[in-house]
Amino acid sequence: MRPPIAWRSPGDKKAPHGVARWQVEAGLTWQLLLSCRRCRRHRRLFSSHSPLLPIPTSFQVPPSLSSIPFSPAKNHQQSERASRASASYSMTMTGGHRRLMGASSASAPAGEDAGKSGSSKDAMRIMVSVLVVVIFCTLLYCVYCWRWRKRNAVRRAQIERLRPMSSSDLPLMDLASIHAATDSFSKANKLGEGGFGPVYRGVLPGGAEIAVKRLSARSRQGAAEFRNEVELIAKLQHRNLVRLLGWCAERDEKLLVYEFLPNGSLDAFLFNAGKSAQLGWTTRHNIIVGIARGLLYLHEDSLLKVVHRDLKASNVLLDNKMSPKISDFGMAKIFEDESNEVNTGRVVGTYGYMAPEFALEGVYSVKSDVFSFGVLLLEILSGQRNGALYLEDHQQSLIQDAWKLWSEGQAAEFMDPALGRAYAAEEAWRCYHVGLLCVQEDADARPTMSNVLLALISDHMNLPEPSRPPMFTRLRRVLLAAPPLTTKTESTTSPVSVNDVSITVIEPR
């Protein structure tokens, strides 16, 4: 913004400081002077002695005070001090035969006021914008803090609700660590699909391999079953039980971290034509004895009396030496007193492995596990899955086939063709005999697991004759919560387990 130049008539002796005044002497000499109030000095701007302009012969005195803006190049401070005054001007100078100078200008003050007003509005807009951004960021931060605190509160509540009372030595693992170990539960690390959710392989930073059981959102296993499994496995330690390394209950995730068993589950070998040949007789016999030892520990040798209630081929895992380890204790129950059986209104388990008293009446005991063990033993001998014919009327199940061939003296026909004749006949017949004793209809007639193990490893124990097993003629699947699940086909290579709930109708003899 430039300071103004004011023009005064020649008779005006007192021009205001800070403006230029017009002086004419004797009509012949003229000059334009600049007066400065601050420094008390005058500066000649134009004069008649300048060779650029001729001496005017006439002039027209401005009728009133007018001004023009100017900006001295040599003194910037003077220009800024004089910039406070402004006006419009109009000047005409004539001399001789021609017009010497003329100028006109629009009102400078109006333009400057508009500029000042626009600058004020821009500054106001900037201030408002900055204020809005600051308020928005503050609100966003407050919302983040609130959600973070709420999430942590929920997590703490879940942990406290799911924390086993006696598993203080069992590590509580971080969800981020499990995500990193399993590559965010990638499909490449998926080992199989269980009834309660998928199982993934993972590698910890130290290189140790783990198996992570991830509770599915659609699973029927809730918080109670999850806590039950954690609490049980934390208390139970046996070489034929899978070892729990840690657990996690964070956000909506419920995870169990087990030791990694490279050979997967038993059903992946037993019911797969391409892998069943890898199970020779010695391996099968060791698996049978190992499962019996694990059940005996649960029923009699541990501090707790535990009924597994879901023993089946897919819940038996094999380590690198093909030694069996019982897994999946989600539906296991503890007998806290001296009672030997419990009546429950909720029937859970897998069809084909459930004892008749449990399927029909909801009564379970350690003898229910004995029945499941007998079914599993017969499956290991024959290489066939029990229950495959349950949905078809007028067809026999694996148990019926076993009883029929036993009663006809054709036990060799029951053995898995993948074995050929490469098995110890005496051990095989004894296992066959024990299996039929375990699947008897009367629970009291079934042997205990201590007697079962003794019969399997002893050649001199006399075994009673088995009675006819229950005749399963019809199966009706009962869906309590989840939609129907499909079972694994025999060609499936990955271990798959499905927990179906069923009721079996028994035909009387």
Which residues belong to the active site?
A: 310
Distance CA 307, CA 341 (A): 10
User: In degrees rounded to 5, what are phi and psi of residue 200?
Assistant: -120, 150
Tokens of 228: 């039950």
CB 276 within 8 A of CB 490: no
DSSP letters spanning 424-471:
-HHHHHHHHHHHHHHT-SSGGGSPPHHHHHHHHH-SS---PPPPPPPE
Residues 282-289: contacts with CB under 8 Å, at least 24 apart: 283/322, 284/380, 284/381, 284/419, 285/424, 285/427, 285/431, 286/322, 286/323, 286/324, 287/316, 287/318, 287/322, 287/323, 287/324, 287/380, 288/377, 288/380, 288/431, 288/456, 289/453, 289/456, 289/457
Question: Which two three-digit tokens encode residue 53?
Answer: 């302009």
Instruction: Let me know: does 334 contact 305? Beta carbons within 8 Å.
Output: yes
The span from the CA of 50 to the CA of 408, in Å, is 144
Tokens representing 465 are 């004759």
Cα–Cα–Cα angle for 136, 123, 68, rounded to 5 degrees? 170
Please list the alpha-helical segments (H only) found in 63-107: 76-81
State the greatest distance between any 2 C-alpha atoms of the chain, in Å, as a whole number: 156
Bridge partners of residue 363, in order along the sequence: 343
Gap between the Cα atoms of 371 and 359, Å rounded = 12
Rounded CA separation 126/138 (Å): 18
C-alpha dist (Å) from residue 192 to 257, 267, 409: 15, 11, 39
Report the C-alpha gap between 103 and 93 in whole angstroms.
10
Looking up tokens 């899955």 gives 385
DSSP track, 59-74: E---SS-EEEE---SS
Pick from 448, 355, 439, 345: nearest CA to 399 = 439
H-run or E-run covering 2: none
